[in-house]
Amino acid sequence: MMPDVISKPVRVVVNDNTPSQVQPPFDYDAEQAVIGSVLIDSEAFVQAAPYINANDFYAGKHQIIWQAFLDLAAKSASIDYLTLQSHLAANNNLDAIGGPAYLTRLITTTPTAFNIQSYAKIVGEEAVRRSAILASGEILKSAYDRSVTIPELQGIASTEFNGVFRASADTAPNMKVVMRDYVDQRTAQMEGKAQPDYIKPSLRTLDEKLSGTSYRRSQFIIVAGRPGTGKSTFMLQEATAAAKQGKHVVFYPYEMSRDETIDRMVTQATGIPSEILLNPALMSDAMRQQFFKACAYIETLPIRIIDPSSTAFEDAANQVRAIHTTQSVDMVVLDYIGLMTSRERRYPNREQEISAISRGAKRLAAEIDCVMMSGAQLNRNVEHRSNPRPSLSDLRDSGSLEQDANVVMFLYKDERWDDPVRTDIYVAKNRGGKKPTIHARFVEEKTRFEDARLHTFDFSSYNR
């Protein structure tokens, strides 16, 4: 017969650095109540299955029973005392779980199936605690290994603990649960009780052309253009717009210092030219009043501007994960991917390194469920064509950028245009959405883009 509890006590260090044998965390009564609830009412399985899996149970016999429930559900068979007993017997597991008598005891000792979700939550939380103990052991082992660098140790620690908490939510819910949540969400949005969970661009025309889908969670968005087209300005403008919507943003300005980035934010907010910001003594009284109001407002925005001490993508990713553990991150902006490197290994060429970084950025967006936006350069071929409108093949050292990105937006200008401040924003790729082109105006003295149609960028709220 399989032992009731398959896990062993773990060796930990407690007071005075003395080792002690302690039992891993688990709640035997809650495990019994979960299984007993399903045997009382098969609908309870539907309620609990999205939140726990067989490995979340500590007792070996309970793991076997829950796996049997999953097997029966996969065959669309009914789940009850008789079908479970038959399935366990057919797989030579009935004696291992204590026989029919144990199944009967589970039914008689469970007061009600009504509290199934509470029982399941307890089982799941105890499983997370046990996983965290195992992850801590792996981190401890790596910390003692002096061949592991500090950035590598940060990555190991982040991966181990992210794996713990991601695994606790990875049980795939059935379509009944999925569709119930989906319909509830859409109904709330229809009735105006909930806002769509996306980030609006700063330019109203772009938002309208994208039909309200705009920047969605888990998307990897590339903003590309030749040097001087305003990629950094546009991405900072989008980051600021997201922060104004209450979204938590992390911005990495690899091309500028943090102070230079804040200078641009102030210029975008007030219209005070950057050369006057660099020489504040030239400010008029009105400008000074604008300056202090704008600074006071920007201070309240949920945006972090990180002065990167390293160009390695892994360092930025670990830092974002660390921030995300204390404050949910909604948007990450990398300005720009062409200035980043990878610590993973040496690549034979730059294209493969960029591919590794872009795959990492895409994975990070999915991992923390945020919008990931990065700038990218276009190669010089576009300058020698009669039509300067860029295409996806123009991405410099693109590697898998084109493939990895959910959205690719190009900023481009044409010297033949009569309007010298005109900049077109062309959405060349948009999975599941429209691919519009909009006309914008780049106002150089204000370092910002405006809707060509509206001739305005709404940042007036700083003055409220």
Are the beta carbons of 266 and 291 closer than 8 angstroms?
yes
Domain boundary among 149, 178, 207: 178
Give residue 3's pLDDT.
43
Same domain, 238 and 368: yes
Query: What domain range includes position 65?
Result: 10-178
Digit-coded pLDDT (tens) for 329-356 = 999 999 888 888 887 666 778 888 888 8
Does residue 391 contact residue 378 with C-beta atoms inside 8 Å? no
pLDDT number for residue 146: 85
Q: Are residues 241 and 295 in the same domain?
A: yes
Signed CA dihedral, 195, 197, 200, 205: sign only: negative
Shared domain for 205 and 133, answered yes or no, is no
User: Considering the domain boundaries, does residue 186 fall inside one?
Assistant: no
234 vs 223: CA distance, rounded Å: 8
Question: What value does the CA radius of gyration of the chain take, rounded to a whole number of Å?
Answer: 28
Same structural domain, 146 and 206: no
Sheet holding 407-412, edge to edge: 303-305, 249-253, 331-335, 371-377, 220-225, 407-412, 422-430, 437-443, 448-451
What is the number of structural domains in the chain? 2
What are the residues whose beta carbons fall under 8 Å from the beta carbon of 99, sequence distance 6 or more?
A: none
Residue 306 lies in a domain: yes
Residue 370 forms part of a structural domain: yes
Looking at the fold, whether 209 and 161 belong to one and the same domain comes out as no
In a domain, 191, yes or no: no
Neighbouring C-alpha atoms within 13 Å toward the C-beta of 460: 3
pLDDT at 198: 82
**Would residue 259 count as lying in a domain?**
yes
Give a yes or no: residue 18 inside a domain. yes
**Quick one: 261 and 132 in the same domain?**
no
My answer on whether 39 and 74 are in the same domain is: yes
Peptide bond into 119 cis (omega under 30): no
Give residue 238's pLDDT.
94
**Shared domain check, 36 and 157:** yes
Give the end of a domain, one of 115, 144, 178.
178
pLDDT of 8: 46
Is there a single domain that holds both residue 359 and residue 396?
yes
Q: What is the pTM of this model?
A: 0.63
Residues 165 and 241 occupy one common structural domain: no
Residues 171 and 205 grouped into a single domain: no
Q: How far apart are CA 314 and CA 360, in angstroms?
A: 8
Domain of residue 248, CATH code: 3.40.50.300
Nearest to 34 by CA among 101, 170, 132, 127: 127
pLDDT of 220 reads 92
Same domain, 240 and 306: yes
DSSP 35-64: HHHHHH-THHHHHHTTT--GGG-SBHHHHH
CATH number at residue 135: 1.10.860.10
Q: In this structure, is residue 4 part of a structural domain?
A: no
Cα–Cα distance between 204 and 240 in angstroms, integer?
Answer: 14
Domain final residue pick, 119, 150, 178: 178
Q: Which of 46, 139, 42 is nearest to 82 (CA)?
A: 42
Query: What does the pLDDT read at residue 459?
Result: 41
In a domain, 406, yes or no: yes
Predicted confidence pLDDT, tens digits, the chain (464 residues): 444 544 444 444 444 443 445 678 899 999 999 999 999 988 888 778 767 888 899 999 999 999 998 888 777 778 899 999 999 999 999 999 999 999 999 999 898 888 888 888 899 889 888 888 888 888 888 888 888 888 778 777 777 776 666 554 444 555 666 677 778 877 887 877 766 678 889 988 888 888 666 788 889 999 998 888 889 999 999 999 999 999 999 999 988 888 889 989 998 888 888 888 888 888 899 999 989 998 999 999 999 998 877 788 888 887 888 788 778 899 999 988 888 888 766 677 888 888 888 888 998 998 888 999 999 888 777 767 777 788 888 876 566 787 888 899 999 887 777 777 888 898 988 887 788 888 888 887 788 888 876 544 444 444 33
- Tell me which residue has tokens 């930990």: 12
Predicted local distance difference test score (pLDDT) of residue 170 = 47
